Amino acid sequence: MRDNSARRIRFFPVAVIAVLLAFLAAGTASNLQRNPQPGLVSEGIPGVGSSASVTPSVPSTTSARLPSQYGGMVRQALADLDALTLPTGATLAGWDGPWRFVWPRDASFVAAARCSVGQYAKAGEVLSFLNRVRPTSGRWAARYGVDGLVPQDGREAQLDGSGWVLWATWFCSSGLDLSTYWPMLRESGDQIVAELGPDGLPAASPDYWERPESKVTLGTVAPLQAGLRAGLAIASVLGHEVPSWQGALDRLSAATDRVFGPSYPRTKGGGADAIITVLGPPFAPPRADVADAIDHAHDLLTQPNGGVTPGEAWRADGVAWTPQTALFALSAAARGDRETAESLLTWLDTHRTRTGALPEKVNRDLQPAGEAPLAWTSALTILTTAALDGPLPRPAA
């Protein structure tokens, strides 16, 4: 009888590999079924055409300092922000359905983007709307209706709004009367101080992931640091004494390094999050350890399609989100990494819709998806191109 043991030994690894590949294929197919390809909600705002049709007669382009690069994308982004900003200053996150609300986060970035190209009056309109709807105590609502009312949709208030509003107003300080907004700024800064616990960190709050959280996230902590730095600068300019803000910033910064450092994940012991970019320029002074952590997070979160996912704990569907991609672009530009910034901006430019709008997502087939245009992405893109042309304002240590 012939001994087939050698053949069986040779065949065994092949069989194991085949079984593993089958399991992987089945898992991939199951994941794709659970996370189908997203499509576009719309190509853009009705009546706002492609960048090629946006002429210098568009109000935004006549008053804006256009960048030396990516002028077409910026002109379109400004035109889209014009359309998304109502006469009251209410700046919609997007044109359609669930996006037709004002998020303090998105609106703050729009105001900063306007100021980065010299459109201080338009930025003032956005900040004035926020000033009218501000909470006199407590956290900012997750979003506001165009009438200024808080929609009763069950969303929890979001603490990060206090940080974003402070940062954006300070960013615009060279072209606006800060005293106009001091009540809003004072209330936001005091709210941050009130939220910090004995450990120097706030309690859990929803952040830009728009979901309830059981642990404090970097998505809350990082904007609060930026806000307190900015708030201290504003108070200094206006001659106001706010010693509690400096103490709060010191405690919050130390606690962030202690709990989240050195990799600065989304939550203690969690995975990477794109919001790590807010711990560095243009939101904070440069630090070598933070820069290394930002670059590592970018590597971890980059998807096969070239864009970025919000975090490691986000659903694994291969879809890239443009705001987070643009955050890494802005971070790179502000830190002097021109090659990375231009690469990401070119990726964003390449994946605009047929009307030229910047979409919310890019799917696995490299097609624009989700809402278009998205105000946050448009604002971040404008800020990034401005950072390539010259240094952006940055809060002191």
DSSP assignment string, 316-354: -S--EEHHHHHHHHHHHHHTT-HHHHHHHHHHHHHT--T
Average pLDDT over residues 132-142: 96
Whether the Cβ atoms of residue 184 and residue 131 lie closer than 8 Å to each other: yes
Say how far residue 105 (Cα) sits from the centre of its chain: 8
pLDDT tier, 193 (very low <50, low <70, confident <90, very high otherwise): very high
Residues facing residue 273 across a β-bridge = 311
pLDDT of 23 higher than 70: no
> Could you tell me the sign of the dihedral formed by the alpha carbons of 103, 109, 112, 113, in that order?
negative
User: In CATH, what is the architecture of 44-389?
Assistant: Alpha/alpha barrel (1.50)
Ordered by start, the domain boundaries in the chain are 44-389
Mean pLDDT value of segment 253-264? 98
Q: In the predicted model, is pLDDT for residue 9 greater than 80?
A: no
Which pLDDT score is estimated for 28?
Answer: 41
CA distance 288 to 280: 9
- Could you report the per-residue pLDDT of 285-324, keeping only the tens digit for each? 999 999 999 999 999 999 999 999 999 999 999 999 999 9
CB 310 within 8 A of CB 274: yes
Nearest 5°: CA angle at 345, between 344 and 349? 120
Q: How confident is the model at residue 395 (pLDDT cuts 50, 70, 90)?
A: confident
Residues 14-46: b if buried by 16+ CB within 10 A, e if exposed: eeeeeeeeeeeeeeeeeeeeeeeebebbbbbbe
- Whole-number pLDDT of residue 68: 79
Q: What is the pLDDT of residue 290?
A: 98
**CA gap 263, 190 in Å, rounded:** 29
Q: Is the model's pLDDT at 56 over the cut of 80?
A: no
* Percentage of residues of the chain with pLDDT beyond 70: 87
Residues 6+ apart with CB under 8 A from 260: 218, 221, 268
Taking the C-alpha atoms of residue 150 and residue 131, their distance in angstroms, rounded to an integer, is 14
Reply yes or no on whether the pLDDT at 174 is more than 80: yes
CA 224 to chain centre: 14
**Mean pLDDT in the chain?**
91
**Spatial distance between the Cα atoms of 10 and 170, rounded to a whole number of angstroms:** 69
pLDDT at 259 over 60: yes
19 or 395: which leads in pLDDT: 395
Mean pLDDT of 56-80: 79
Tell me, yes or no, if the pTM score tops 0.85. yes
Residues 146, 97 contacting (CB under 8 angstroms): no
| pLDDT cut 90: percent of the chain above it | 84
**DSSP H stretches of helix in 172-287:** 182-195, 218-238, 243-260
Calculate mean pLDDT across residues 101-127: 98
Give how far the C-alpha of residue 110 lies from the chain's centroid of Cα atoms, to the nearest Å. Answer: 11
CB 291 within 8 A of CB 241: no
d(CA 207, CA 218): 9
pLDDT (tens digit, 9 = 90+) per residue, 204-217? 999 999 999 999 99
Provide the total of helices (H) and of strands (E) in the chain, helices listed first.
Answer: 13, 3
pLDDT reading at 80 higher than 70? yes
pLDDT at 53: 40
pLDDT at 243 over 50: yes
